[in-house]
Chains A and B, each alone.
Chain A
Amino acid sequence: MGEFIIRSCVILFLAGFLGLILFGLMNRVVRAVMVRELRNSFDSPIAYVFIILFLLATGVMYAWVVKGGMFSKALGVAQVDTFFQWMPLYLCLVAPAVTMRVWAEEKRTGTYEVLLTLPVRDTEVVLGKYLAAAALVTLAILLTLSTPLIVDSLADSAGLDWAEVTGYYAGSVLVGLMYVAVGAFVSSITRDQIIAFLVSLVLLAALWALGLPDLLNEWPRLSEFFRAISPGARFENVAQGVLDSRDMLYFFSATALGLVLNLFTVSARKWRI
């Protein structure tokens, strides 16, 4: 029963995101901004470089570096736990790389002013840019499917537990969507892409690290709090299918918070102070 609720929550969240995309496609401005951002990413080498680097890095880590990885004979069964274990950390690199330019570049070159003096609502632009970056990160995550597929095909006896893999992917996408919202917000407070990248990287990595077991053991008093705010611990919950709606609420509110803060910084120019 609990598992049913969890799965429903995941599905609801993903459905909500899909709904956002659909709404975006319905809204003229969101659609135009989203399409422009995506085309921009795929017209330049940036998107390809990051996706390829991401796939290479995750693949290499899994195949040769991580204990219990692809070529570890010890287990004898197909399983990809170690592949996904570090996913929140990889995403700390990927999401900022995708989001670093979305606002900072516009501010630096001045196109910000052209864009925002068109008849658009700030919300529409924030949403359009978010959806484009989120789609790109989701695509990168889904492309890693190659690894589980390979593992599954190489397995001697039992193949992968695809329910488990689905859980991992759900968790990864949730983490990715949240990271993109945070990254886009950070990008909106600076004119410098590199600063945007580094600040979001450090911020996200620090948040993730708060959930590391070692750290939690180090400060038992704060462990409750750390566990509550870290996406790392939440991710494990989602992935193992033992979580409850609080985790959903966490990802949902963290994503929403990033977007709202992003909207705040964009609209701040209009405050009469």
Chain B
Amino acid sequence: MIRVQHLTKFYGSFPAVRDVSFEVGRGEIVGFLGPNGAGKTTTMKVLTCFLPATSGTVTTDGLDNFENSLEVRRKIGYLPENAPLYLDMVVRDFLLFVARVRGLAPDTRRRRLDEMVRVCNLQKVFLRPIGELSKGYRQRVGLAQALIHDPDFLLLDEPTAGLDPNQIFEVRNAIREIGRTKTIILSTHILQEVSAMCGRVIVIDRGRKVMEGNPARPSEMLTPAAAARFSRVVATVAGAGVSTETVAAAFGQERFARDLACAPAGDGAVTATIALADDGAGAAEAIFRKTVALGWALRELRVSGATLEDAFRELTTGETQADRPAPLTGKAGDMAGNGGGWVASAPHPAPAATPDHRS
């Protein structure tokens, strides 16, 4: 397992990572999520022994990353951001070079090379110079390079950055296949990626860990009060007299509704998205009864809590609850489409005074 304890890394006087602690057990796929510049890559560089920590310790399978750097690096496969590779080398030669440096015996080398070509789907480009390959292929060559020695730990820094949707699909499939047997830490700023692949997510922001949890249950990462602000009911109703105004009037008066937005859903139906005043117990029943009482038909009734996006924004933008009502337009954690617009959200308040970790 990888154990990070009070990791702090300064670049000169700039603290890139501050007092981050977490553990990653065998067989886990953990997403390392954060806005650009949050310290993801720096943490990766310490985990792969490229840079030392300013203070704090990192151990891999009980070995200190700084003291036992060589042994740790033998256990790790690493794909840095943007998959930097020797562009003038042919894919086969590059993978053989890495295998040689890693000390694989000739027959193992050949076997692993075949295996990598299969897992990462490189048959078509096997004898082509890396510089001629598309970004998706380069990323997969980088993945093959990180896996050639069959490591226990795989660290991937933004493995799908800059790829088109088809390439993302391919790379994710490859990672998923590998993840069945390996411990993987992958950093990303794409929320969807975490939901799609990771059993656990660690979010860091401005060098600090702000949350950790199961990406499938984001509400659990928030305080009960914060989680309640994101609970809402979506109801689509149809029938005589249904219009955005009548629906807004019907549900807007209810005690459970804190805020409400109505939109035509086509075919004469109207969809109401209702932000709940508390945790919303009983809201769905109340809406159902009201709809029946008005003689309308209920086409859809859905209760949703905080999405991963909600939780992420709540925890990384540093806004207080009073500043901002829960948005009514949020859709389930799909961030890929809007290019990480959340990164440039409200200005961060000045960070709280922290003890200086420089040694």
Point out the residues of chain B lying under 8 angstroms from A114, CB to CB.
78, 80, 84-85, 142, 145
Point out the residues of chain B lying under 8 angstroms from A121, CB to CB.
70
Point out the residues of chain B lying under 8 angstroms from A43, CB to CB.
88
Q: Is the CB of B85 within 8 A of A118?
A: no
Give the residue name and chain of the A residue nearest to B146 (CB). A114
- Interface flags for B80-107 (1: CB within 8 Å of A; 0: not) read 1110111111000100011011110000
How many residues from B make CB contacts under 8 Å with A?
32
Point out the residues of chain A lying under 8 angstroms from B98, CB to CB.
118
Q: Is B76 an interface residue (CB 8 A)?
A: yes
Q: Is the CB of B84 within 8 A of A111?
A: yes
Given A28-B103, A32-B101, A113-B80, answer yes or no on A39-B93 (Cβ-Cβ < 8 Å). Answer: yes
Q: How far is the CB of B7 from chain A (nearest CB, A)?
A: 13
Q: Is the CB of B101 within 8 A of A120?
A: yes
Q: Is B180 an interface residue (CB 8 A)?
A: no
CA–CA, A55 to B144, complex, Å?
A: 42
Among B70, B86, B89, max chain A CB count under 10 A is at B86
User: What is the interface residue range for chain A against chain B?
Assistant: 20 to 34
Given A28-B101, A40-B88, A109-B87, answer yes or no on A270-B52 (Cβ-Cβ < 8 Å). Answer: yes
Q: Is the CB of A270 within 8 A of B51?
A: yes
CA–CA, A272 to B88, complex, Å?
A: 35
Q: Is the CB of B52 within 8 A of A272?
A: yes
Q: Is the CB of B51 within 8 A of A117?
A: no
- Interface flags for B44-86 (1: CB within 8 Å of A; 0: not) read 0100111110100000000000000011011010101110111
Q: Is B359 an interface residue (CB 8 A)?
A: yes
- Interface flags for A114-129 (1: CB within 8 Å of B; 0: not) read 1011111100000000
Q: Is A238 an interface residue (CB 8 A)?
A: no
CA–CA, A43 to B145, complex, Å?
A: 21
Q: Is the CB of B51 within 8 A of A269?
A: yes
Q: Is the CB of A119 within 8 A of B84?
A: no
CA–CA, A32 to B50, complex, Å?
A: 20
Q: Is the CB of A109 within 8 A of B84?
A: yes
Q: Is A47 an interface residue (CB 8 A)?
A: no
Q: How far is the CB of B88 from chain A (nearest CB, A)?
A: 6
CA–CA, A236 to B59, complex, Å?
A: 56
17 contacts between A and B (CB under 8 A): A28-B103, A32-B100, A40-B88, A40-B89, A113-B50, A114-B80, A117-B48, A118-B73, A118-B102, A119-B71, A119-B74, A119-B101, A119-B103, A120-B73, A269-B50, A269-B51, A272-B54
Closest 6 CB pairs of A and B: A110-B84, A119-B73, A32-B100, A117-B48, A119-B74, A32-B101
Additional A-B contacts beyond A32-B97, A271-B52 (7; CB < 8 A): A28-B101, A32-B101, A109-B84, A110-B84, A111-B86, A113-B84, A117-B48
- A-to-B contact residues, CB < 8 Å: 28-29, 31-33, 36, 39-40, 43-44, 109-114, 116-121, 269-272
